[in-house]
Structure 1
Amino acid sequence: MKKDLVLVTGGSGFIASHIILQLLQDGFDVRATLRTFAKRDLVEQMLINGGMEDLSGLSFVEASLTNSDGWDDAMLDVDYVMHVASPTPTLNFESESEMIRPAVDGVLMVLKAARDAKVKRVVLTSAYGAIFAGHENRQTPYTEQDWSNLDAEGIHPYQRSKTLAERAAWQFVATEGHGLELAVVNPVAVMGPVLSADYSHSNIQIQEMLAGKVAAVPNVDSGYVDVRDVARLHILAMTSDVAAGERFLATTGEVLSMLDVADTLRNAFPEYAMKLPTTVIADEQIMLAAKGNPMLRMVASLIGKYAGTSNEKSQALLGWYPRSAQSSIIATAQSMIDLGIVK
Structure 2
Amino acid sequence: MTTVLVTGGSGFIGGWCALALLEAGYDVRATVRDRRREPALREQLHAAAEFDDARLTVVPADLQRDEGWAEAVTGCEYVLHVASPTLRNAPESEAAMIATARDGVLRVLRAARDAGVRRVVLTSALGAIAYGHAPRSTPFTEEDWTDVEADIAPYQRSKTLAERAAWQFIAEEGGALELAAVHPGAVLGPVLGPDDPPSLRVIRGMLTGALPACPPFGSGWVDVRDVADLHLRAMTDPAAAGERFLAVAGRSLRVAEVARILRERLGPRAAKVSAREMPLLVARALSLVSPPLRALRPQLGRDFDATSAKAERVLGWKPRPIADTIAETAESLLAHGLQ
- Category of TM-score, reference length = shorter chain: over 0.9
Q: Secondary structure at the match of 1:56?
A: helix
Between 87-96 and 316-325, report the one with greater CA deviation.
Answer: 87-96
What is residue 42 of structure 2 aligned with on the other side?
44
1:312 paired to 2:324: no
The structural deviation recorded for 1:301 is 1.1
After superposition, the Cα gap between the structure-2 partners of 1:91 and 1:30, relative to the gap in structure 1 and judged at 3 Å, is closer
Given candidates 262, 287, 290, the residue that maps to 2:284 is: 287
Q: Percent identity?
A: 47
**Contact kept? 1:125, 1:185, Cα under 8 Å:** yes
Alignment of 1:27-106 (within 5 A): 27-89=25-87, 95-106=93-104
- State the Cα RMSD in Å: 1.6
User: For 1:320 and 1:34, how far apart are their aligned partners in 2?
Assistant: 28
Range that drifts further, 83-92 or 96-105: 83-92
Partner of 1:144: 142
Q: CA deviation at 1:92?
A: 8.7
Q: Which residue of 1 aligns with 2:112?
A: 114
Task: Give, in whole Å, the separation in 2 of the partners of 1:90 and 1:151.
Answer: 24
182, 185, 190: which one aligns with 1:185: 182
Contact 1:251 1:311 in 2 (8 A): yes
Contact in 2 for aligned 1:91/1:295 (Cα 8 Å): no
Q: Which runs of no fewer than 5 residues in structure 1 stay unpaired?
A: none
**Alignment-derived partner of residue 233 in structure 1:** 230
Residue identity in the other structure for 2:159: K
Which residue identity is paired with 2:24?
A: D
Tell me which moved more, 29-38 or 43-52: 43-52
* Residues 145-224 of structure 1: pairs in structure 2 closer than 5 A: 145-152=143-150, 154-224=151-221
Distance 1:20 1:92, change over 3 A: closer
- How far apart are 1:9 and its partner, in Å? 0.3
The CA distance in 2 between the partners of 1:93 and 1:110, in whole Å, is 19
Are residues 112 and 159 of structure 1, via their aligned partners in 2, closer, same or farther at CA, if it must alter by over 3 Å?
same
Question: Of 253, 273, 298, which residue of structure 2 is paired with 1:256?
Answer: 253
* TM-score, structure 2 normalization: 0.96
Q: Distance in 2 between matches of 1:339 and 1:94?
A: 30
Shift of 1:172: 0.2
Deviations 1:175-222 (A, max 9, x none): 000111000000000011111111311011112211222211111111
Of residues 295, 314, 335, the one that matches 2:332 is: 335
Residue correspondences, number: 339
